[in-house]
Structure 1
């Protein structure tokens, strides 16, 4: 692992690189969840690089991990802005030449918006892990539960180990999702704009979204789409079912012809 700092639009973003550099192999770009950061991917990026032979770039969005903070409240369009304004510049700053966007939760929604609106020729595929395309009562209930755990439980202390500006990280995500105006947030109109191959992964016991999220993407996307459901798995397949998640992604990247290993 190589720790880096990327400068994007005057903001310093924490980043880490695993595996070969972008001029030697395709890059799997990890886009974290609403409370994630580089460190919370744990061993997943290293294992992904070893299994695929690709480079893996993980970065913490502004307000998360060791990245610079943001001003609160976040706009309710924060995922749109990340997808269209920040992510292309992250790829530029890291010299990424061929990419697969691997997003989890909010990060998957960001990847979806990017693929549908930016249409970056560097992006060859999407891995969407527990993506959100609209709000559901089950997800909002879980987000309210997270607020209770943060205010009166152990969640703040746990997150403070990973986020330099922990209140910014938590409130920026939680308060946006629980804003009454966010109830109408919906990405379904973007889905037909996805033409690159997509892999959709979700746990059957996901506490933040139902099968309707993946059903909507599969029904409306314009490119090839594969859906994988994982049993005995909640919202974080890469942590709860790491071997199955890694192997599924490996097959997807291999089918795209992007593995970093020489042909046998």
Structure 2
């Protein structure tokens, strides 16, 4: 259910050699008692783009909502370096330009990892974390996810993906092929298998994923985990909402292990839902977010 807040304001912001696409919307409710923390939505991929319009509209009467395409992604400049430290530094630079002392970070998928990394590095600026469809702070989930995603594909889809991988390795690639490749990969993320391919195809935005960024960021995150990053998240004192769908091919066990490490976490498990709760179960997502924010901001629930 969209709110009556004004439409988003878009801007390109210069951050350390890159122009970053940003969007701001929402008017904090007077009932919040002073200026509440702003919400920043962090997309996944890595190397994809933000697509949080419907999600932002669920809460933009309670908090100001900022969205952005990370360096190398979407409408932002494809300029490196591509690593976790730079992504965290970019977000901190944006926070300063937005003049926001405290943030509620909403991280989806790999964006949840970036939210955790920012919270560890800048705890004084984090009011809360909302981690949607994240994968925790270990690498144990990867094999199970790979097997589950493969099991959800038809033989024809598996064969077509194999063909596309060969084409990509040979340098035979264009936007049309990329759209098909992404749709086949993302289709397994939805709990409803009847319309999964159409929904996955609708997620695509030109110029498409930044595969260089994806490889570099994924490798850097793995390095951080092997270097003991998981032990540092136990120092995050801010409230954390972990939201995952039962139908996500990524195992819930990874999120459960993360929840045990966090001193102030609550776990929301959504039935009949995959990797995109705000698209698959919008009303449940809206109510879950607003309940968490109402408690955080000491506002009446609706």
Using structure 1 for the length normalisation, give the TM-score. 0.79
Q: Which residue of 1 aligns with 2:260?
A: 219
Structure 1 pair 101/183, CA: closer, same or farther in 2 (3 Å)? Answer: closer
Q: Which residue of 2 aligns with 1:41?
A: 52
Using structure 2 for the length normalisation, give the TM-score. 0.70
Q: Distance in 1 between matches of 2:258 and 2:78?
A: 32
Q: Distance in 1 between matches of 2:126 and 2:116?
A: 11
Q: Say what the alpha-carbon RMSD is for the aligned residues.
A: 3.4
The answer as to whether partners of 1:205 and 1:232 remain within 8 angstroms in 2 is yes
Of the candidates 134, 144, 148, which is equivalent to residue 138 of structure 1? 144
The answer as to whether partners of 2:129 and 2:239 remain within 8 angstroms in 1 is yes
Greater shift after overlay, 236-245 or 54-63?
A: 236-245
Of the candidates 190, 196, 200, which is equivalent to residue 238 of structure 2? 196
CA deviation map 1:93-124 (0-9, x unaligned) = 111233210100111111112112321x2311
The alpha carbon displacement at 1:20 in A equals 2.3
Of the candidates 78, 101, 107, which is equivalent to residue 103 of structure 1? 107
Query: How many pairs are equivalent?
Result: 247
* Ranges in structure 2 where 5+ consecutive residues have no aligned partner: 1-7, 29-33, 151-157, 169-176, 184-200
The alpha carbon displacement at 1:8 in A equals 1.4
- State the SS of the aligned residue for 1:125: strand
Q: Distance in 2 between matches of 1:174 and 1:68?
A: 17
Structure 1 pair 129/236, CA: closer, same or farther in 2 (3 Å)? Answer: same
Of the candidates 150, 159, 162, which is equivalent to residue 205 of structure 2? 162
- State the SS of the aligned residue for 2:79: coil
Q: Which residue of 2 aligns with 1:65?
A: 74
Q: Which residue of 2 aligns with 1:124?
A: 127
The answer as to whether partners of 1:127 and 1:200 remain within 8 angstroms in 2 is yes
Structure 1 pair 217/161, CA: closer, same or farther in 2 (3 Å)? Answer: closer
CA deviation map 1:46-90 (0-9, x unaligned) = 23213xx21100000011111010348x4xxx234423x222111
The answer as to whether partners of 1:26 and 1:54 remain within 8 angstroms in 2 is yes
Mark the structure with the bigger radius of gyration: 2
Of the candidates 11, 19, 24, which is equivalent to residue 18 of structure 2? 11
- State the SS of the aligned residue for 2:115: helix
